[in-house]
Amino acid sequence: MPRVLVYDLALLSPASYSFQVMPTIRTGILKGFYKPDYGSGSIVNLLASIIRSRGGFSPHPSLKPMDTGRLERAAKVIYLLVDGLGKHQLDTYLDNGYGRHFFARHRHRVISSVFPATTAAAVTTYATGASPTEHGVLSWWLNLHDLGTVGNVLIEETRLGAPLKGPDFNLHEYLQMPSYLNSTTGERALLSYGHITESTLSNAGTRWTRKTGYETLTGMREAVLQFARSSCHGLAYVYWPELDTRCHAYGCFDSVTVKHFDQIDEVLASIAAELRGTDSVLLVTADHGLVDTPEDRYVDLSAVPGLYDTLATLPAGDSRQLSFFIRPSLRREFMAYGRSFTEIGVLVPGARLIRGGYFGPGHPHPGLKGRVGDYVLIARDNYAFDAPPTGMPAGSLIGTHGGMSKEEMRVPLYVIGD
């Protein structure tokens, strides 16, 4: 597929944008990367503001600056997540004349994702208000050490593609998912794609009072407006995954992806117009951005001779961050491999990431230490990795995420309505 976008700064309208810069890490082995702003500028803080506006409790600071009175006065707060819409991608689309109906017509600010900057970690924060430290869902593939497997709690599969649970295993209880959303008053609506509303993960923490599924953007629009026009007081979490899906398959700036971005833009413009008079505030944001990875920069770690022999289990994580769990007697041999990773990424002790607060504030989930590797490999530049089981092919996604770059870490936030 052709990459169709060409930068044209003449199309930039400064009045439509609010530029805010997250500072880079200035010292140490992560110099040049971006740490989430959990103090007052991340999605954790956004959820804290939403929760407080609905009469609930969060131990985390609110988002600043934020007009909390605007949220508190509204009968309904609707936060809509466009999966994969990073700030860098948004700017590129807008610079080239796309997104004219909604995204270019309203001002936005920049907030940070969580680490890892990946769907699994971020959407669990959006669904509960808890940080990754607290909820423990750190990546697409998790080392579930107490189950003896690497698995995916979103799609409930092991790394080999087998079911994650049998009939006698209670995944809901196993996840031990905290949720500050449960402290809110009024309706708690989950409006989401496909069967996500009925997944174990979606229901493991928050007790939703209303759930609506849809398959199309039109269906999403109808679900949002039905909630907004109701007489209830409360909040709705709305999720759309298909931009991220196209970024993975085609790349962030392919014509297929850009066309879908414009379709989202048109639907959001329609929703914003129809919300007038419903006593609702609409917040449009994202979970993470992506980096396009050329084929020659996608590294299959299962093809590195002897690497797996140094590991206690398969690596776990995402395409731009992987946790390695080392056999203690072979630590020296593993570190020899680690020194060869210098070009593709930074190898960081997992305990240092935990101590440094990279997974966010709060009381640690019981499984946290077992799910963070002895060492975590974080991608540089546009590199990505896969670590499939022996005998299975490596992945080859174009759009990748999970790392700590500004492209992945910075996401937009629009606030529309009463």
CATH number at residue 367: 3.30.1360.180
Which residue segment(s) compose the domain that 91 sits in?
A: 16-292+405-417
Note whether 250 and 338 are same-domain residues. no
How confident is the model at residue 16, as a pLDDT? 36
How confident is the model at residue 19, as a pLDDT? 41
Note whether 395 and 413 are same-domain residues. no
> Any idea what the Cα angle at residue 350 is, between residues 347 and 351, rounded to 5°?
135
Is 312 contained in some domain?
A: yes
Number of compact structural domains in the chain: 2
Residues 315 and 387 sit within 8 Å (Cβ to Cβ): yes
- Express each pLDDT in 185-208 by its tens digit: 999 999 999 999 999 999 999 999
Percent of the chain with pLDDT over 90: 91
Name which residue leads in pLDDT, 5 or 109.
109
CATH code at position 273: 3.40.720.10
Residues 172 and 200 sit within 8 Å (Cβ to Cβ): yes
pLDDT above 60 (res 222): yes
Is 323 contained in some domain?
A: yes
How confident is the model at residue 17, as a pLDDT? 38
Q: In whole angstroms, what is the distance from residue 40 CA to residue 373 CA? A: 28
Cis before 65? omega within 30: yes
How confident is the model at residue 396, as a pLDDT? 84
Note whether 315 and 273 are same-domain residues. no
Q: Can you tell me the mean pLDDT for 75-84?
A: 98
Is 215 contained in some domain?
A: yes
Note whether 283 and 136 are same-domain residues. yes
One-letter amino acid at 148 equals G
Name which residue leads in pLDDT, 14 or 322.
322
How confident is the model at residue 395, as a pLDDT? 84
Note whether 197 and 315 are same-domain residues. no
Is 277 contained in some domain?
A: yes
Tokens (6 digits) for 175: 């996840």
Average pLDDT, the chain: 93
Is 8 contained in some domain?
A: no
CA distances from 132 to 38, 127, 136, 199, 218 (A): 11, 12, 5, 19, 32
pLDDT above 90 (res 104): yes
How confident is the model at residue 10, as a pLDDT? 26
Note whether 355 and 334 are same-domain residues. yes
Note whether 242 and 334 are same-domain residues. no
Instruction: Lowest mean pLDDT of 6-10, 165-169, 250-254, 352-356, name the range.
Output: 6-10
How confident is the model at residue 22, as a pLDDT? 65
Note whether 107 and 89 are same-domain residues. yes
Q: In whole angstroms, what is the distance from residue 10 CA to residue 96 CA? A: 9
Q: In whole angstroms, what is the distance from residue 98 CA to residue 85 CA? A: 14
Is 228 contained in some domain?
A: yes
Is 9 contained in some domain?
A: no
Note whether 306 and 277 are same-domain residues. no
pLDDT above 80 (res 2): no
pLDDT above 50 (res 9): no
Name which residue leads in pLDDT, 313 or 6.
313
| Backbone torsion region of residue 352, taken as left when φ is above 0, otherwise alpha when ψ lies between -120 and 50, otherwise beta | alpha
pTM comes to 0.94
How confident is the model at residue 1, as a pLDDT? 28
Note whether 328 and 410 are same-domain residues. no
Note whether 255 and 284 are same-domain residues. yes
Is 85 contained in some domain?
A: yes
Note whether 270 and 158 are same-domain residues. yes
State how beta strands 187-193 and 210-214 pair.
Answer: parallel
Q: In whole angstroms, what is the distance from residue 49 CA to residue 72 CA? A: 9
